[in-house]
Chains A and B, each alone.
Chain A
Amino acid sequence: MSINKHVIDDLPTGKAFNNPSHDSQSVFRQILKSMAEPGSILTINAQLVPPHPLSIATAAICLSLFDFETNLWIETSLKTHEVIKYLKFHTGLKIADKPKKASFCILGTSIPSLDEFCAGTADYPENSSTLIIQTDEISTRAQLQFEGPGIKTNRYVSVGSINKGFWSDREELQSLFPRGLDLVFTQNNKMISVPRTTKIDVL
């Protein structure tokens, strides 16, 4: 029957959490640890099969944190039909048409100007976007030096090659604190978080 066929066509491919409640919790704790310890490399152990080009870590963050209250903006190169179907089916999130309107954004390494994103207001700095950036490298290679809250002295990591000007734009944005953008870099099942307070030196 045509109605049933429609329903089956709507089902996403791939695989989400085995146990949504417990898996969301353990993934959240990894995200929390990563946000509390900027520059630490955290690994997600969830048995996920996300649709291409979502990485396991990106998908796990989405499944753990998103629901009908979250607006997500996805950069065009990652915004496939399958990705939207997967995320909508498993979380019920809303897709935003502009990055300014989104509470979370999923991006690749060519990041648009940071002015495009919502950095919150001085009164309500929490109304800012969190950027989930899929990159090709997350390692302890000393490319960036992290300093700030959550870091005892400093940490050295690499998050791959991000487009030119990104780190200086971010540094400029930091002068607006408490307004700002929180970043989560993901690659395969690894992630590194960079909250707005972290001071970064490009080595």
Chain B
Amino acid sequence: MAISNQSEKAGNSTETPEILEGYNFAYLDDQTKRMIRRAILKAVAIPGYQVPFGSREMPLPFGWGTGGIQITASIIGKDDILKVIDQGADDTTNAINIRNFFGKTAGIETTEKTTEATVIQTRHRIPENPLSAKQILVYQVPIPEPLRWLEQRESETRKMHALAEYGVMHVGLYENIAHFGRVTTSYNYPVQVNDRYIMSPSPIPKFDNPKMDKMPALQLFGAGREKRIYAVPPFTKVKSLDFEDHPFAIESWEESCALCGSSNSFLDEVIIDDEGSRMFVCSDSNFCREETEKIKDGPVTSSGETL
């Protein structure tokens, strides 16, 4: 089976599927790509502002990354190397299918190695390895409007963005502190870009928010159902909202990764048997694999057994 093959071929370029005949390069027609490209340029010129675009029907449902796919399809070229991650992992259904989709419709090279990729499409994580100026990070976004939870009307949120009237956002965080003693938002934590627009970072854990700040790579965000594209240019200030007496802080764990031993990556808690035993492992599968390879005797569980 293709899936088990891919995980065995750990870290190497994945198998290129047969190229489908009868489609334009990377699926989308050129007129659509031009429309999306013009929207991307405006998004880059106005950091954090959500540019409306004519989102197309894709051969998978909205909510499965159609926004990210349309951006990737519009920017990718023959010489690009694509990596796709879903919650940090290269080997989950969404990631494998999107990678195969571009393998089939564009015939481009794909990889699991973060450092090798020129375009990285992601759902809900930023890779642990720092990204370079030669890379573009494409986020899949479900709800692009950070104010939507507090104000349902698009006409109102648009006004609020136009006037930089963001008080309600801080009131929301304040109420959270008043109820629970701290800000309990752990993912999709709102940020302010270049001291102007408040932006949804997509549902990445707040652990990843600091990586967005002054990142050398260009960050593009696509929301297919909501028909919005926005962007953060390289080396742009991205600040997570907070208060002086309640500064922004990221998650931390007492455990370290059970496979690679890393103590500074984002960990997933995995239940491993019916007794409720659990282990913590890196959510970034490529990072974890590379760290594991550095260990001579192979991965060791927390109880000291070799896997």
Contact = CB atoms under 8 A, between A and B. Distances in A.
> Do A and B associate with each other?
yes
Interface of A: 20-22, 24-26, 28-29, 31-33, 35-37, 64-67, 69-70, 103, 121-123, 125-126, 130, 148-152, 177-178, 180, 182, 195-197
Contacts of B51: 126
Contacts of B141: none
A31 B77 CA distance: 14
Given A31-B41, A36-B234, A69-B35, A197 B77 contact: no
8 smallest CB-CB distances across A and B, nearest first, come from A195-B45, A150-B233, A122-B162, A149-B236, A126-B42, A149-B233, A182-B45, A25-B77
B77 A32 contact: no
A196 B45 contact: yes
Interface stretch (B23-31, B58-66, B168-176): B23-31
A103 B35 CA distance: 12
Nearest to B218: A36
Contacts, number: 109
Contacts of A178: 46, 49, 162, 196-197
Given A32-B75, A150-B233, A150-B236, A24 B34 contact: yes
Contact of A65 (B38, B77, B159): B38
Interface size of B as a range: 35 or more
B44 interface: yes
Interface in B226-266: 231-237
Interface string B212-236: 0000101000000000000111111
Interface of B: 24-25, 30-31, 33-35, 37-47, 49, 51-52, 74-78, 133, 158-159, 162-163, 194, 196-197, 216, 218, 231-237
Contacts of A66: 34
A94 B46 CA distance: 25
A197 B234 contact: no
A20 B30 contact: yes
A29 B136 CA distance: 11
Contacts of A35: 41, 44-45, 233
16 contacts: A20-B30, A22-B25, A24-B34, A65-B37, A66-B34, A70-B38, A122-B162, A125-B46, A149-B194, A149-B235, A150-B236, A152-B235, A180-B45, A180-B46, A195-B44, A195-B233
Nearest to A198: B45
Nearest to A128: B42
A131 B41 CA distance: 13
Given A35-B41, A35-B45, A197-B194, A21 B75 contact: no
Contact of A197 (B41, B46, B75): B46
B213 to A, nearest CB: 12
Contact of B234 (A37, A121, A182, A196): A37
Given A123-B162, A149-B194, 16 more contacts: A21-B24, A21-B30, A25-B75, A25-B76, A32-B44, A35-B233, A36-B44, A37-B234, A65-B37, A69-B35, A125-B49, A126-B43, A149-B47, A149-B234, A197-B46, A197-B194
Nearest to B76: A25
Nearest to A182: B45
Label chain B's interface by main secondary structure.
mixed
A126 B163 contact: no
B47 to A, nearest CB: 5
A76 B218 CA distance: 37
Contact of B46 (A20, A32, A69, A126): A126
Nearest to B78: A22
Contacts of A150: 44, 233-236
Contacts of A196: 45-46
Contacts of B25: 21-22, 25
Contacts of B24: 21
Nearest to B194: A149
B40 A32 contact: yes
A67 B33 CA distance: 11
Nearest to B40: A32
A66 B38 CA distance: 9
A123 to B, nearest CB: 5
A20 B31 CA distance: 11
Nearest to B237: A149
A150 B41 CA distance: 13
B276 to A, nearest CB: 48
Contacts of A125: 46, 49
Nearest to B231: A36
Contact of A177 (B44, B196, B233): B196
A69 B53 CA distance: 13
Contact of A29 (B45, B75, B234): B75
A151 B216 CA distance: 9
